[in-house]
Chain A
Amino acid sequence: MLSRRGFSMSALRKVLSPAFRLDSEWQKRHSDLKALNLGGDYEWIAAVQKKFVGGGRASAVDVDAAACLSEESDQLEDVLELVYKLRHTDNAADLLPSTEYATLRLLLKHGAENELFKVLNDPINYGIFPNYHSAGLLLDHFLRAENFPAAAKIATILMQQEMFDHEVLNLLALYALLKFTELPSEARSFDETIQKKTVVVDEDDINEEELRSMKFPFLKNPFFDGHFDLEETDALVGKALSWFNRELASRIGANGAQIDLLATALTSDLEAVGKAVAKASNVSPSVAATVKSVLEKAVGGIPEEGREENDQFKAIQTISTKLESSTSTSTPALSATVLEALKTVQQAGEEAIVKEQKTLFTDWNTARKARALMQAERVNLRLRIAEIKAEIAQHEARKEELFFFENRVRWEDKAAEQDKLFEEFNLNNKDETVTESEYAKEMFEKALEQKRKQATA
């Protein structure tokens, strides 16, 4: 069934090929993990949780093994808890890349979108970042499900981490962003699941009685860095569009001006939009529709009375007319153009990422094994040291016994010293006015002092 516009059947498959998922290679990790002899997955997770109890800590390898072993949905919460706990220790820097990858794959496997975005939106507390392959998997998953807001959010995460090395992912992310902008304006927002927003606490909810003071040498100046601090949907999507446009300038070519127009409409003021409209030609109807909806929202902000005379309204009208004149119905939707470009690089691009990921799998396995062995060796060495110390103490005691008579003079001197001190402190005469507990305390303190003197002598 060929559509009239001449798009082939393959264009309907708007996503990456199933071979990209590397399911079988990922499953192979279990055979390597079995070699570590960790017992069952539930048991290992419980063991790692026990390590964290009471202020203790587990190592990055432990958490990694727990994350990689997990396959079931009820282990998901526990794995996230372990990752959170590791991130809040000194060893946060040791987090292995395979842990991040395994957690994201587990979240995707069970379609736990709430947890997924909770983790992705909170990099400081979780430390889970997608790598190129997992980013591809995430984009793929959401585009297949036609969840364009979620796919656009993943694209903005790629923009924030500046992961622009693979062209195929750049194009896929751009495609996701464009599909998002082509949605009607009511659907064009990141809801609470996908985007975390800073909650402004109401004045009434602040408990004035419980006043806590926190002292620091220097107080922080509020600063909006316009990158990680972005929370508004339009700002995020606009910035992502302009950055991907810059990275794909050579591939996109003439359509770059249209993407620029979209980005400017979403982020900047009217003057900039006017300039961008002037630069764009043969604007596709989809882009025009999006820009129009943004302009309509701006018009909605101007009060009804005296609207005709308002300067801003007139500016908006000029831009709208210019836009209408630049629009040409023969230009296909921008997302379709990007999709065509994606098709040309898809196979080679996918192969590159897949190859990289396969080598990563083997590297991760060897690294994990090496670290697990090192950890086990360290534990064994610690036990051995304790054993050796006990043995030494034993030998010292035996030596004292054996050389008792040779050291007779030394013992006699020591005894004389003790006698003198007993005399000094009058310990021979038991004072009947002193209570039992006071007497015991006195004796204890004197004995401690003696020990200290002997240590320094």
Chain B
Amino acid sequence: MASNAAVPFWRTAGMTYITYSNICANLVRNCLKEPYKTEALSREKVHFSISKWTNGKPEKPTIRSDSSEE
């Protein structure tokens, strides 16, 4: 089954489905009215520290700390 069908725009832009759905979710959150909006946005903060290892050697860990996906 050759996929000749047009790949959705976000896939060609390099995003995965997860990134796409996170952006959509953030758009929906931004549609909320005021008290709920700040609550929802503060609930969805992201923080972790990721370090890639090559050949048994760690590289410098980068901290992914965005308030939420942009």
Our verdict on whether A and B bind, yes or no, reads no
Interface residues of B (CB under 8 A from A): none
Interface residues of A (CB under 8 A from B): none
